[in-house]
């Protein structure tokens, strides 16, 4: 007898889509039976619905100091939002300052997550300090804490950026340790120069954020990082790629043998730069970096997802209130905290704008929002699969649900929704985390702080 049986759903397994039952014992998938026939103490009816592996968000910010303030979410609020949206595991970016020791930052972020996170979690560790002590601590964190990915910023001059000498040495270290280097690819010097020029011309509103860091700057950053990866042998992962030009640079490098993976994020797939041009400072809600682009870039990114050129979708969830935080940049767009929160909306946005419009297949959505992430970041098959022995992180998904995105339905602490009033097709009806029901029809029903750290 199983603890839980999920009956009659269309299950997206590593071997293909089958209709049948899943049996769960002690939080682990114990049986996957095509055609059904399993019995359990608790039965979840999935007839007529899709059954997915729990989704994984490879790129979130929760405890985030930025632009002199901190993101408004805590780990409890952000992870509850993630779970009701079908995301059962998150990978958070640890973002220390230039003077912070990596070991202390890791301990700080991990402690906060262990206290409040309701879903499972892991980390990418940003490297902004690279002296001998930092190098020693980075080695230790890889060896003893299961850290398997670092993060660097080719942006934010004087705050988070790294010079080329240290970047090259860091990439050599990544190759030595077998660690993936995730990267925000722009050109810090070029962005800084263009921002100063625009502000001097009195161009201070949020609509000038995108012109200050155009597509060519992002593509240049991708090309720069790929060149260093070609020389060092490092495995690289380009985060929040916003345009076809940047994707093309990565694909060209892949053709030369560079081990490069490309990520897109939900806002870049469904919003365009006209949102940041809204009058009355309303556009500040839609300021993120890289910025929202021309709508034509949506097609380039969706094509990349359909072809496999782009292999993961995250959120870059970074929640800053419009009132009291975003408005710090009223007089200068450079002071607007960056971020368009979407940790709860991601899967439904991709289903609505990708699957329902036939830009991608349902299987592709599962791959790019779950399975590929698990494989890329050393969590597969514990995560990202409906298979015997995998964690029973399972989403029963109603693809026929129709509604709209509303701020009032959100569990994040943010004071607005970047997708307010937009059409919504699909909803995670029942979400299980390691065999326990944690969300039902948009309501969190799990246990606060029950998330576990995933050592990779």
As a whole number, mean pLDDT of residues 416-444 equals 98
Return the pLDDT at 68: 83
Phi-psi sector, 213: left (phi>0), alpha (psi -120 to 50), beta:
beta
Q: Are 363 and 402 in contact (CB under 8 A)?
A: no
From CA 407, how far away is CA 420, in angstroms rounded? 6
Choose which CATH entry (2.30.40.10, 3.90.105.10, 1.20.58.220, 3.90.550.10) describes domain 2-52+389-444. 2.30.40.10
> Domain 55-376 classified CATH 3.20.20.140?
yes
Residue 159: the pLDDT is: 67
Across 360-364, average pLDDT: 98
Round the average pLDDT of the chain to a whole number and report it: 96
pLDDT of residue 1: 87
Q: How confident is the model at residue 157 (pLDDT cuts 50, 70, 90)?
A: low
Q: What is the DSSP string of 338-396?
A: P----TTTHHHHHIIIIITTTSS-HHHHHIIIIIHHHHHTT-TTTSS--STTSB--EEE
Model confidence at 158: pLDDT above 80: no
**pLDDT recorded at residue 235:** 98
User: Which distant-in-sequence residues (6+ apart) come within 8 Å of 119 by Cβ?
Assistant: 79, 82, 83, 87, 88, 89, 90, 433, 438, 451
**Contact yes or no for 56/384 (Cβ under 8 A):** yes
Q: Confidence class of residue 444 from pLDDT cuts 50, 70 and 90?
A: very high
Query: Nearest-CA neighbor of 171 among 95, 238, 226?
Result: 226
**Residue 105 tokens, joined:** 């930052």
- Bridge partner residues of 89 (DSSP): 56, 120
Q: Where do runs of H (alpha helix) occur along 49-204?
A: 75-84, 102-116, 132-145, 164-177, 188-200
What local confidence, expressed as pLDDT, does residue 67 receive? 79
Mean pLDDT confidence for 349-357: 98
Could you tell me which residues are beta bridge partners of residue 151?
Answer: 126, 182
pTM score: 0.97
pLDDT band at 188 (very low <50, low <70, confident <90, very high): confident
204-245, pLDDT tens digit by residue?
Answer: 999 999 999 999 999 999 999 999 999 999 999 999 999 999
Span 375-411, pLDDT tens digits: 999 999 999 999 999 999 999 999 999 999 999 999 9
- List, for residues 429-439, the tens digit of each pLDDT value: 999 999 999 99
- Whether 57 and 25 have beta carbons less than 8 Å apart is answered as no
Q: What is the mean pLDDT of residues 243-261?
A: 98
pLDDT score at 102: 97
**87, pLDDT greater than 90:** yes
Domains 2-52+389-444 and 55-376 share a fold: no
What is the predicted pLDDT for the residue at 218? 96
The burial of 48, by beta-carbon neighbours within 10 Å (0-12 exposed, 13-18 middle, 19 or more buried), is given as: exposed
- Asked if the model's pLDDT at residue 371 lies above 70, the reply is yes
Three-point CA angle 346, 351, 355, nearest 5°: 145
Across the range 255-263, mean pLDDT stands at: 98
Residue boundaries of the structural domains of the chain: 2-52+389-444, 55-376
């Amino acid at each position: 007898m199983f603890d839980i049986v999920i009956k009659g759903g269309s299950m997206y397994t590593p071997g293909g889509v089958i209709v049948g039952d899943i049996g769960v014992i002690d939080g682990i998938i114990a049986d996957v039976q095509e055609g059904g026939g399993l019995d359990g103490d608790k039965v979840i009816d999935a007839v007529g619905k899709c059954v997915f592996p729990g989704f994984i968000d490879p790129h979130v910010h929760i405890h985030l100091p930025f632009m002199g303030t901190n993101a408004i979410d805590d780990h409890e609020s952000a992870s509850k939002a993630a779970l009701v949206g079908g995301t059962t595991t998150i990978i958070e970016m640890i973002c220390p300052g230039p003077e912070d020791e990596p070991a202390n930052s890791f301990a700080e972020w991990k402690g906060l997550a262990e206290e409040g996170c309701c879903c499972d979690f892991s980390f990418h560790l940003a490297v902004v300090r690279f002296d001998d002590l930092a190098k020693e601590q980075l080695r230790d964190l890889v060896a003893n804490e299961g850290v398997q990915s670092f993060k660097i910023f080719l942006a934010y001059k004087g705050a988070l950026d790294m010079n080329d000498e240290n970047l090259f040495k860091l990439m050599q270290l990544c190759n030595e340790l077998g660690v993936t280097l995730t990267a925000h690819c722009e050109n810090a010097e070029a962005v800084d120069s263009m921002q100063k020029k625009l502000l001097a011309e009195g161009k201070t509103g949020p609509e000038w954020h995108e012109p200050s860091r155009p597509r060519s700057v992002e593509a240049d950053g991708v090309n720069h990082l790929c060149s260093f990866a070609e020389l060092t042998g490092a495995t690289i992962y380009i985060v929040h790629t916003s345009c076809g030009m940047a994707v093309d640079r990565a694909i060209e490098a892949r053709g030369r043998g560079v081990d490069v993976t490309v990520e897109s994020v939900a806002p870049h797939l469904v919003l365009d730069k006209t949102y940041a041009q809204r009058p009355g400072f309303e556009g500040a809600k839609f300021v993120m970096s890289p910025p929202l682009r021309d709508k034509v870039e949506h097609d380039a990114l969706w094509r990349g997802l359909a072809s496999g050129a782009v292999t993961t979708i995250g959120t870059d969830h970074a929640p800053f209130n419009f009132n009291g935080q975003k408005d710090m940049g009223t007089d200068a767009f450079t002071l607007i905290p960056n971020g368009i929160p979407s940790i709860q909306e991601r899967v439904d946005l991709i289903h609505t704008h990708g699957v329902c419009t036939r830009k991608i297949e349902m299987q592709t959505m599962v791959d790019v929002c779950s399975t590929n992430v698990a494989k890329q970041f050393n969590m597969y098959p514990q995560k990202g699969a409906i298979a015997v022995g995998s964690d029973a992180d399972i989403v029963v998904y109603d693809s026929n649900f129709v509604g709209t995105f509303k701020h009032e339905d959100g569990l994040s602490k943010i004071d607005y929704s970047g997708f307010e009033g937009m059409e919504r097709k699909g909803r995670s009806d029942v979400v299980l985390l390691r065999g326990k029901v944690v969300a039902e029809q948009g309501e969190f029903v799990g246990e606060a702080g029950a998330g576990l750290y995933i050592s990779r």
